[in-house]
């Protein structure tokens, strides 16, 4: 139990899927070139509620993710701005060569929303639980990767990338996130957000693990350990300067991700630190395991990605 919570940890007013649908509708109305593509998951991401308003800018491609990425490439060739949505594992694992060759290698402009990230796939279980999507997309040269932590950030980044050419992958949950930001917050590419300052350890999280990191910092405070918490929403490019600055300052780093510790945020931070500022660190995330069915809280406990696991990792070092 946190004795002195630093914030209320209230949920956003809107679900992430409502934010996606609302933002797509707004962008499509303002720009005839915006076209959203779906692979039979419109009702899962709430775009079924806007289809009648933008029938020529929202296309259900059916259950064919490989073709959907190719169609997006074709749309991009003719100047359209395709936003593609499907669950994270289909957007990356299933259509990886299409994303790599028809998208990135061909230097085209495609925005991808991978939803139901990691444990939030819940009852869909191991086949649907992507713990490797960030790692896959990180391997694509010049791709941009964001893992969003709340509704304000998702809406902002969806709008921001509309006029930024390239392959953009946004990883999200579908339901309500813990509210982290005020509505007027801005989010730059290649930057992290310092949410809390402390001199003993730096906790770097993304997505749903940002709230866990903040909770961990509260628990550590009760133990007399002061933690810095960074929301590293821009996974690629990543904020090297910020990572090095706080590693130097606190001399201990923990990463926290709803993803395999190989390939994602933990890897990215370790790569920066090992080359530029060797620092003791721990990576909280999924280790050599597949997904499974279960509620989010159960799964967080099973994969050891809770605030308590972050605290334990910190206490090994501090």
Partner 1 sequence: MSINFQYLETFRDEIRLLTLKELHHLGFGHYGGSLSIIEALAVLYGEVMKVDSKNPEWVDRDYFILSKGHGGPSYYATLSLKGFFPEKILYTLNQNGTTLPSHPDRNLTPGVDMTTGSLGQGISAAVGVALSHKLSDRGNYTYCLVGDGELNEGQCWEAFQFAAHHKLNRLLVLVDDNKKQLDGLTKDIINPFDFGEKLTAFGFYTLKVDGSSLTQIYEAIEKGKAQCDKPVAIILDTVKGQGVPYLEEKADNHHIRPNQADEEAIIATIAQLEKKLGKKVRL
Beta-bridge partner residues of 282: 254
Sign of CA dihedral 258, 209, 244, 278: negative
Q: How far is CA 55 from the centre of its chain?
A: 28
- Asked if 278 and 272 count as a contact pair (C-beta separation under 8 A), the reply is no
Q: Which residues of 258-279 are buried (b: 16+ CB within 10 A; e: fewer)?
A: bbbbebbbbbbbbebbeeebeb
CB atoms within 10 A of CB 85: 27
CB of 59 to partner 1, least distance (A): 7
105 binds partner 1 (CB under 8 A): yes
Give me the 142-161 binding string for partner 1, x by CB under 8 A, dash otherwise: --------------------
The most distant pair of C-alpha atoms in the chain lies apart, rounded to whole Å, by 58
Q: What is the CA radius of gyration of the chain?
A: 19
227: β partners: 201
179 in catalytic set: no
Should residue 107 be labelled a site residue for partner 1 when binding is judged by CB under 8 A?
yes
The CB-of-259 to partner 1 minimum distance in angstroms stands at: 27
Span from 62-70, 145-153, 180-188, 213-221 in contact with partner 1 (CB under 8 A): 62-70
Contacts for 78 with CB less than 8 Å, ≥ 6 apart: none
Using the contact rule CB under 8 A, the part of the chain among 68-76, 184-192, 223-231, 283-291 near partner 1 is: 68-76
Stretch that binds partner 1, among 11-19, 63-71, 155-163, 189-197 (CB under 8 A): 63-71
Rounded Cα distance, 209 and 91, in Å: 22
Q: Which one of 35, 217, 225, 230 is in contact with partner 1 (CB under 8 A)?
A: 35
Looking at 38, 65, 122, 257, which residue is catalytic? Answer: 65
51 lines the binding site for partner 1 (CB under 8 A): no
In whole angstroms, the minimum distance from the beta carbon of 104 to partner 1 comes to 10
Question: For residue 105, what is the DSSP state?
Answer: I
Please tell me the total number of residues recorded for the chain in this structure: 318
41, 42, 45, 71: residue in contact with partner 1 (rule CB under 8 A): 71
Could you give the residue numbers annotated as active site? 65
Contact positions toward partner 1, by CB under 8 A? 32, 35, 56-57, 59, 61-62, 64, 66-67, 69-80, 97-98, 101-102, 105-107
């Amino acid at each position: 139990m946190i004795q002195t919570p630093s914030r209320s940890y209230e949920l956003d007013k809107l679900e992430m899927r409502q934010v996606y649908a609302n933002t797509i509708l707004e962008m499509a109305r303002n720009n005839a070139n915006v076209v959203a593509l779906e692979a039979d998951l419109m009702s899962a991401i709430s775009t079924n509620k806007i289809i009648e308003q933008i029938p020529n800018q929202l296309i259900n491609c059916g259950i064919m993710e490989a073709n959907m990425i190719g169609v997006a490439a074709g749309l991009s060739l003719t100047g359209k701005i395709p936003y593609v949505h499907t669950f994270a594992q289909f957007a990356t694992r299933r259509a990886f060569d299409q994303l790599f060759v028809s998208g990135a290698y061909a230097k085209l402009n495609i925005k991808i929303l991978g939803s139901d990230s990691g444990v939030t796939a819940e009852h869909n279980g191991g086949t649907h639980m992507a713990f490797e999507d960030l790692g896959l997309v990180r391997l694509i040269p010049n791709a941009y990767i964001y893992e969003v932590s709340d509704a304000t950030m998702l809406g902002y980044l969806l709008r921001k990338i509309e006029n930024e050419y390239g392959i953009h992958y946004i990883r999200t949950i579908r339901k309500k996130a813990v509210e982290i930001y005020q509505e007027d917050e801005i989010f730059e590419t290649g930057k992290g957000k310092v949410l809390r300052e402390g001199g003993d350890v730096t906790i770097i999280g993304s997505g749903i693990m940002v709230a866990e990191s903040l909770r961990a910092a509260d628990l550590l405070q009760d133990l007399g350990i002061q933690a810095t918490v960074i929301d590293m929403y821009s996974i690629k490019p990543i904020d090297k300067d910020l990572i090095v600055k706080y590693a130097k300052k606190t001399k201990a780093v923990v990463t926290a991700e709803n993803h395999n510790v190989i390939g994602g945020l933990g890897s990215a931070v370790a790569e920066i630190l090992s080359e530029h500022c060797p620092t003791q660190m721990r990576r909280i995330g999924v280790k050599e395991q597949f997904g499974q069915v279960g509620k989010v809280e159960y799964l967080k406990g099973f994969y050891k990605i809770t605030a308590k696991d972050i605290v334990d990792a910190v206490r090994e070092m501090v």
